[in-house]
Structure 1
Amino acid sequence: MPRASDNLWDIALAEVQKKENLESQDGDGAEVWERSVFFIGNKNGGKTTILLRCLDRDEIPKPTLALEYTFGRRAKGHNTPKDIAHFWELGGGTSLLDLVRIPITTENIRTFSVVMVLDLSRPNELWATMEKLLQVTRKHLDKLLSELGKTNSKLANEIKQKAWRILPKDHADRELIDPFPVPLVLIGSKYDIFQDFDSEKRKIICKTLRFVSHYYGASLMFTSKSEPHMVKTRALINHLAFGLDRSKSVSSDPNKPLFIPAGLDSLSHIGSPPVSDSDIGQLYARTPLELWKKIYDRSFPATNIGDLKEIKDPAKDAQFAENEVDAMRAQKDQELEQYKRNASKSWKGMEFDSHM
């Protein structure tokens, strides 16, 4: 409670100290004042739809142009301050990888989570999208942790150790996985289309995503726009955004939507890669992840995503229409075209010395 003698700087300092005290608490039951969730994944894969549904916003999803931000609040109880969740969404699939570094900073890395939305209806693009986004995001996270280690080695070590807590110390897979530095969720979207795939194709995709999510210490779930699926999706996002309890139920049947929280799967349950032993012997791979990639590519050869070519001029996008700005833009475009025509005539009329 501010005192009458406190000036503006005293009050601001008290607020900052209060925030730091809250963020310094640890453990599953820790109280965190603010959290951040970063949505990445396939272009047109359903990231915005999932985010809006999780925030209970009845809006028609619009294409994400580049990097968009919104937030949500949730009260812990009656007459208690509301927790704040910052939501970032990267548009363009893998075409805007440089923007990954903007929402993740040393100031929020401790309370940061990543949600990757993968379009199950486009299996030939799935691995390439997943690989590129995870590599760039992890590289930036590792860089931040290295920088943080120079100024606050204790906090940097705590973040690294926390990533390993998803598995018990005696878990048989501890030596075979490489946990993501921050909480990671893989969401397979458009399950309503995926469920009509050939059973063998579904099995390969399910086993592969189970391996990848387990390897990175991530949670995995499949979803669609149907309300029963969205209920579980909202619960998982709320766990990341507001620290609510997460479901510990597991569904690993490839004939049903997968739902496997981080740390509740194992390589023995996933089974061997979907290929014959003789074929495995012919494949050279330096890591288990590389082996699964090569096997997945056999069934679903990577296609050229072509994200860069698909990016449209935002000035021509109806959702960003501004009458006055658009009118001025049209005038400047006309002036530019006139300049080009005049310049063209000037160059054509010039006489060049053929002896030069």
Structure 2
Amino acid sequence: MPVSSGSIICVLQHSSQCGGFCFSIVEPLLPYVASVQEKESRFSALTAKIQQLEATIESLESQLELSKSHQRHCLTKGELLASNQDLVNKLQEAMRGQIVNCKADQLGSELKNQSSEILRLKSEAQAVPEKRLSAKEAEAEAESEVAFPSSCIGKEDGIYELKVSDSNPFEVPCDSSLVDSGWTVIQRRLDGSVDFKRSMLDYRSGFGQLEGEFFIGLDKLHQLTSSQPHELYVYMKDVKNKILYGRYANFSIAGKEDNFRLNSLGSYEGNVNDGMSHHLHWEFSTFDHDHDLFPNYNCALLAQCGWWFSSCFDSLNAKYDTARGLGNSATLTDCHGYISKGPNKVLPYVMRLPQFVYTIHGKLRSMFDKSNPSSLSAAGSIQEIAGRLAEEQERLRQLEASSTAPKERTLFVLGSKCVGKSMAINRFFDREELTTRPTMALEYSYGRRMGSGKGAQVLNVWELGSLDNAEQLLEVPMRTHGLQQMSAFIMIDLSQPQRVWSDLECAYRGLRDTAQRMLQLATPQLREDMERRSLERVKHAQQDLNSLELLPFPVVIVGGKYDVFMDFEPALKKHICRCLRSMAHLIGGAVLFYSHKLPKLSKVLRDTINHLGFGSPTNPFRGHVTDYNEALSIWFGTDSWAQIGIGEIAGRWSVERIGATLSVEVPQLQLEKQKQQLPQDPAKDAGFKESLIDDMRSQKDDELAAIMRDVNLRGKFESVID
């Protein structure tokens, strides 16, 4: 339908008033509105015409009445007037019939058409708001499709909206005046105006004002750091206006399913000590979600903030003292965090830490012993607790500086085949091996860690590939490094319940028999020292001490492939867990379930290796778990026969009885040991199989056999001549 000139003027007026973006959305509706206006004008014209016709009818009716009046007066005047009256009546009737009938039919038809047109226009007019609503939706949809930046690259100082992958846009402050351009501020501490003692819900969503003190939120940090690699920049200022900074090459955190674990930091550079690396791989804690290192203490409650607590210090979010600055560092008055993205780097997380110098190495276990009257549990207030922590930290530093702790330790890993021994060792040493190969016989590796003392600490790691006929190999680590600083990990494949006892018994007997032979050759003083250490490990199990058969070094029974075992029948899991607990308690060991597919269990195993290998003083087991429906976690000397459920017969409990009890419920396979049939020559042992060496050996054996035949023939010939 063509648009009238008035509509065109309206379009131009709307275009000038509405703006280009709004007019582009409203423009398709203008022709339709113009057509509605034209129909409304037609309707008005028809209404006016009907009113005109009604006025004409009224005029005719008045004339008719006048004619009737004249007729009544004229009848009395004569017959002529009577005939005229008849003529007038006929003419009136003819006119009336013609006008009324014709006009009535015409008007009725027009009214009927106009009524239907009015109804149609009303229905269309009612549909117009719906179309306008869809237009608003189209406008919102078009606005949602606007491309938001994913970083502050190219942005001046100010607040901008960022959008990462499929997330909703969110506002962040951008800073291009700090180090270089394109930093995104994710945390800021200025004057203590914002309380950082918040719940996990607040830390997830973020809090504060973007123009002042604030925290961006863990969910946004995870979205930023998981989208691409990021670099972390920490900026600080002390009361003397000295600038302090720290920079990490590869920063990322996990999502809510892993409690926002600090996944990566990368290499470090800065003008202060690295105070975040010891928090690496730790989960985020708040006062209502405690994930810190200490099972009986809440560091988030002590520091009054949320953080990745492997110690109760070194938190950017600690309570702010308006007189001195941040609570954990009296010298800091200014604290910010920035993130940025570049061609070869993305820096979406920068947080200002209070101070890096209060780094703790975890030597606080004795402080949380409730039986110790001078422990933290005896303190009455947070200030007293903080004072005790500072004193204990200084004491531990002095103790570490003057410590004569061993500089070399040995870890012996043995157990079931294909249970993940090599993978656990490689992950502890941060080795990335693309392919997994079976361990041949006995393999050796080592690691070195630089401590705060005078020299490096060395960890020797020996891995036994197979338990079959390995008696001679078991002596190698013990004879090489001795028993004083040795620890053993017996890894059992939980996915094969029929092999649990055979593998466990073989590993235990091999360690026990070899250790006994070594102790027979040791000095009385060494034997006494080893016995004292064994009793010290189980000091909390005094009630069962007479029934235990302790090994001279710590042994951890590791149940591997727990991701498969966790889906077994409850009755089967109960029997296996009871067997492992009984065996560990009998020999004074610990029990830990592990799977490389479960990050929490992998971290506990890694921390346990670090504890036994490098002597870190902190208990790596975060909890005491004895429920067979969960992953077992039982530290040395914390179990008992009563807890296991065999208190009445504990005095008669032995290795043989443990195996027999399990075999009744879960039939066990025996190791394929054929010791009697095996030759004494290890070169013919399948456990030492090496194709290249075996071929060379076979060739040499053939040559030796030919030489021996020649010698025998020569001897016979000489005897005949004689």
1:247 and 2:620 matched: yes
The counterpart of 1:168, out of the listed 511, 523, 539, is: 539
Residues 408 and 457, structure 2, Cα contact 8 Å, conserved in 1: yes
Please show how residues 95-110 of structure 1 align to structure 2 within 5 Å: 95-105=469-479, 108-110=482-484
Residues 106 and 148, structure 1, Cα contact 8 Å, conserved in 2: no
Please show how residues 105-124 of structure 1 align to structure 2 within 5 Å: 105=479, 108-124=482-498
The counterpart of 2:661, out of the listed 295, 302, 326, is: 295
Q: How has the CA–CA distance of structure 1 residues 292 and 30 changed in structure 2, closer, same or farther, with 3 Å as cutoff?
A: farther
Q: How has the CA–CA distance of structure 1 residues 111 and 170 changed in structure 2, closer, same or farther, with 3 Å as cutoff?
A: closer
Measured in 2, the distance between the counterparts of 1:174 and 1:206 equals 21
Correspondence for 2:509: 135
User: Cα RMSD over matched residues?
Assistant: 3.1
Correspondence for 1:203: 574
Correspondence for 2:500: 126
Q: How has the CA–CA distance of structure 1 residues 305 and 32 changed in structure 2, closer, same or farther, with 3 Å as cutoff?
A: same
Correspondence for 2:158: none
Measured in 1, the distance between the counterparts of 2:698 and 2:466 equals 29
Deviations 1:106-127 (A, max 9, x none): 8521011111101111111111
By relative contact order (CA 8 Å, sep 6+), the higher-ranking structure is 1
SS at match of 2:423: helix
SS at match of 1:237: helix
Q: How has the CA–CA distance of structure 1 residues 256 and 30 changed in structure 2, closer, same or farther, with 3 Å as cutoff?
A: farther
Q: How has the CA–CA distance of structure 1 residues 313 and 216 changed in structure 2, closer, same or farther, with 3 Å as cutoff?
A: closer
Measured in 1, the distance between the counterparts of 2:474 and 2:414 equals 9
Q: How has the CA–CA distance of structure 1 residues 61 and 296 changed in structure 2, closer, same or farther, with 3 Å as cutoff?
A: same
TM-score (norm 2): 0.37
The counterpart of 1:230, out of the listed 594, 602, 622, is: 602
Residues 191 and 222, structure 1, Cα contact 8 Å, conserved in 2: yes
Measured in 2, the distance between the counterparts of 1:101 and 1:164 equals 24
SS at match of 2:544: coil
TM-score (norm 1): 0.73
1:148 and 2:522 matched: yes
SS at match of 1:172: helix
1:305 and 2:677 matched: no
Measured in 2, the distance between the counterparts of 1:313 and 1:165 equals 39
The alpha-carbon deviation at position 213 of structure 1 amounts to 0.4
The alpha-carbon deviation at position 242 of structure 1 amounts to 0.4
Letter in 2 for 1:94: D
Correspondence for 1:21: none
Q: How has the CA–CA distance of structure 1 residues 106 and 93 changed in structure 2, closer, same or farther, with 3 Å as cutoff?
A: closer
Q: How has the CA–CA distance of structure 1 residues 135 and 170 changed in structure 2, closer, same or farther, with 3 Å as cutoff?
A: closer
Q: How has the CA–CA distance of structure 1 residues 194 and 165 changed in structure 2, closer, same or farther, with 3 Å as cutoff?
A: same
Of the structure 1 ranges 211-220 and 104-113, higher mean CA displacement relative to structure 2 is found in 104-113
Correspondence for 1:71: 446
Residues 73 and 85, structure 1, Cα contact 8 Å, conserved in 2: yes
Q: How has the CA–CA distance of structure 1 residues 203 and 35 changed in structure 2, closer, same or farther, with 3 Å as cutoff?
A: same
Deviations 1:150-203 (A, max 9, x none): xxx222201111101122377211111111111111000000111111110001
Q: How has the CA–CA distance of structure 1 residues 170 and 91 changed in structure 2, closer, same or farther, with 3 Å as cutoff?
A: closer
Measured in 1, the distance between the counterparts of 2:499 and 2:585 equals 21
The counterpart of 2:690, out of the listed 312, 315, 320, is: 315
The counterpart of 1:182, out of the listed 553, 562, 565, is: 553
Aligned residues: 291
Deviations 1:37-67 (A, max 9, x none): 1111012222111111121111133211101
Structure 2, unaligned stretches of length 5 or more? 1-398, 679-684, 710-722
Q: How has the CA–CA distance of structure 1 residues 331 and 113 changed in structure 2, closer, same or farther, with 3 Å as cutoff?
A: closer
Measured in 1, the distance between the counterparts of 2:632 and 2:605 equals 12
Residues 41 and 129, structure 1, Cα contact 8 Å, conserved in 2: yes
Measured in 1, the distance between the counterparts of 2:611 and 2:492 equals 20
Structure 1, unaligned stretches of length 5 or more? 1-24, 344-356
Correspondence for 2:123: none
Correspondence for 1:10: none
Deviations 1:210-234 (A, max 9, x none): 1110111101100011222110000
The alpha-carbon deviation at position 314 of structure 1 amounts to 3.4
Identity %: 27
SS at match of 2:606: helix
Measured in 1, the distance between the counterparts of 2:484 and 2:697 equals 46
The alpha-carbon deviation at position 147 of structure 1 amounts to 1.2
Q: How has the CA–CA distance of structure 1 residues 215 and 30 changed in structure 2, closer, same or farther, with 3 Å as cutoff?
A: farther
Letter in 1 for 2:658: W
